[in-house]
Amino acid sequence: MNPIRLTLFFVGLSVVLGLILWLINSLYRLYLQVSFTAPFLANILILLLIGLIGLILWTFIRYFNLFDLKKSGKRKVRRSVSSQNVPQLPTEKTEAAAVNLQVVQQQVSQIQDEVARKVLLGRSQEIQASFERNELQVAVFGTGSAGKTSLVNAMIGEIVGNVEATMGTTKLGKQFRLKLKGLKRGIVITDTPGILEIGEAGVQRDELARNLATEADLLVFVVDNDLRQSEFEPLCELAELGKRSLLVFNKIDLYTAEDQEIICDRLKSKVHHLIAEEDVIPACANPQPFELEDGELYEPEPEVVLLMERLATVLRAEGDDLLADNLLLQSKRLTEETRRIIDHQRKKQADQVIERYQWIGAGVIAVTPLPVVDMLATAAVNAQMVMEIGRVYGCEIDGDRGKELAVSLGKTLVSLGVVKGAVEMLARVLQTNVATFVVGKAIQGVTAAYLTRIAGKSFIEYFSNDQDWGDGGITEVVQEQFQLSKKDEFVKDFVGDAILKVVNPFKDMWQIEFEEDPELSELEWTAPKRRRHDEW
């Protein structure tokens, strides 16, 4: 309570007490006068006196919120006790992580693969549970020969009495819970499987170790000499993810003091852009015994004090931030993975739409041959294709907008010379696979299908980028898709499908009609073909 309010409180209290005393004295005199003639009325005056005194006291207490002050004080005490027991994470990062998880849970319902959907939901729930965990995850990471397990055992030995029983010895590696003095959060140390081992089992262990390292709040990266390139690469990958690391140079007892200093300097130089100098720490987890002059075998104590001191310093100063950073990282990675799965699913569905419409477009051109291949002639077909691809990507496109996009892309194909290039390329390929008299009639339908495919692939890029052609515009997208569609292996497979789906259905019809009347006019030739196309 501030000084002014405190002064008012005492002044008010004095006035209230004075009024109560005056009221009691006045009513007492009145009571004496009335009680002789009307005892019942006198009793009512006493009750009235008690009620007035109670009302004055209640008004005074209410005005100064005395009860509320007590409650608020209790709330503050509870809050302070709570904050001492459970440290609060940085709000900005945890809120961003929570938003990412909400996005994942909304998107997961769109995934058709039931297994993938359940896995992603499970992982989102695990990350959500991590918001409430009061432990920091430390992963000991490195090759099997670097002495990771010995280092973990030495670290645990330094904290005898504060270490719980091993949490597990499964394929996830050994895990220990421990408590450091002065650190409010508990620590879980995981001895990850060794990396860079040969064989299929080694590859699986390597992948598991990297996953565990990615999910940890802090890494202890163990080496027993200068960093090899094969060790440096995973360290860089984890640092790029934002992982905080301590680099431990283990087995220093195998080197002279001079060599130790040289190797430490090399390590600091190599990782200076990733790890601070003070986070490169020498250690000896399992020193080699040696014989004394009297012949007695001496077993030195592990040297991990510097590591434990640095670990405690980092976790005390940065523990909450490390935990919040890791939660944000895990939620972002899960969001990106969900989007990749949905994008793959959408592209697969869009490819099915393109596959269907490219042959519809080929049929339209085949029954209405033109002097040259004209993309505008298939605008209606492509407009419908655009609308269906849009729906796959959650974009509702009406018929007018679909036709506008189709016509615009068709004009781009013509202006870039894609139509001419496609005709020439497919003509050469068809001449080696189809009878000569059929090529002239087949080329238009096959080319239309080919161009429809390029258009469809271009629209996938357009819709996957939120209806934006990107910095290079429609021209760059179309050129890129044309280059991808010119690859020999694709053209070979495409022409094979075209022969089955476009050329062969008309081959016998064309041959019969021309054998019966080689001089059949174009109009007379197209009429029966249209009828057969309808049947087809």
Does residue 166 have a pLDDT over 50? no
Most confident of 55-69, 111-125, 161-175, 261-275: 261-275
In degrees rounded to 5, what are phi and psi of residue 89? -80, 155
Is the backbone of residue 473 left (phi > 0), alpha (psi -120 to 50) or beta? left
Return the number of other C-beta atoms located less than 10 Å from residue 379's C-beta. 21
Q: Which residue has the tokens 């009429």?
A: 527
Q: Across residues 254-282, what is the average pLDDT?
A: 93
Q: Which residues contact 266 (CB under 8 A, 6 or more apart)?
A: 226, 227
Kindly tell me the burial class for residue 78, based on how many C-beta atoms sit within 10 Å of its own C-beta (0-12, 13-18, 19 or more).
exposed
In degrees rounded to 5, what are phi and psi of residue 219? -110, 140
Question: Which residue in 310, 137, 135 sits closest to 212, CA to CA?
Answer: 137
pLDDT the model gives residue 523:
39
Q: How confident is the model at residue 352 (pLDDT cuts 50, 70, 90)?
A: very high
Q: How confident is the model at residue 271 (pLDDT cuts 50, 70, 90)?
A: very high
Q: Which residues contact 258 (CB under 8 A, 6 or more apart)?
A: none
- pLDDT tens track for 450-490: 888 999 999 999 999 888 998 889 999 999 999 988 888 88
pLDDT the model gives residue 347:
93
Q: Across residues 374-382, what is the average pLDDT?
A: 67
Report the mean per-residue pLDDT for the chain: 78
* 127 close to 330: Cβ distance less than 8 angstroms: yes
* 258 close to 226: Cβ distance less than 8 angstroms: no
Does residue 416 have a pLDDT over 80? yes
pLDDT the model gives residue 265:
94
pLDDT the model gives residue 520:
45
d(CA 489, CA 72): 76
* 520 close to 526: Cβ distance less than 8 angstroms: no
- pLDDT tens track for 108-153: 878 888 888 888 888 888 887 777 777 889 999 998 888 888 898 8
d(CA 440, CA 434): 10
Is the backbone of residue 182 left (phi > 0), alpha (psi -120 to 50) or beta? left
pLDDT the model gives residue 134:
74
Does residue 66 have a pLDDT over 80? no
pLDDT the model gives residue 65:
54
pLDDT the model gives residue 288:
85
d(CA 175, CA 148): 13
- Mean pLDDT is lowest, of 397-406, 419-428, 497-506, for 497-506
- Mean pLDDT is lowest, of 226-230, 508-512, 516-520, for 516-520
- pLDDT tens track for 247-262: 999 999 999 999 999 9
Q: Across residues 502-527, what is the average pLDDT?
A: 54
Q: Which residues contact 157 (CB under 8 A, 6 or more apart)?
A: 302
- pLDDT tens track for 89-102: 667 777 788 788 88
Task: State if pTM tops 0.85.
Answer: no
Q: How confident is the model at residue 359 (pLDDT cuts 50, 70, 90)?
A: confident
In degrees rounded to 5, what are phi and psi of residue 176? -130, 140
* DSSP one-letter string for 42-98: HHHHHHHHHHHHHHHHHHHHHHHTHHHHHHHHHHHHHHHHHHHHSPPPPHHHHHHHH
Q: How confident is the model at residue 36 (pLDDT cuts 50, 70, 90)?
A: low
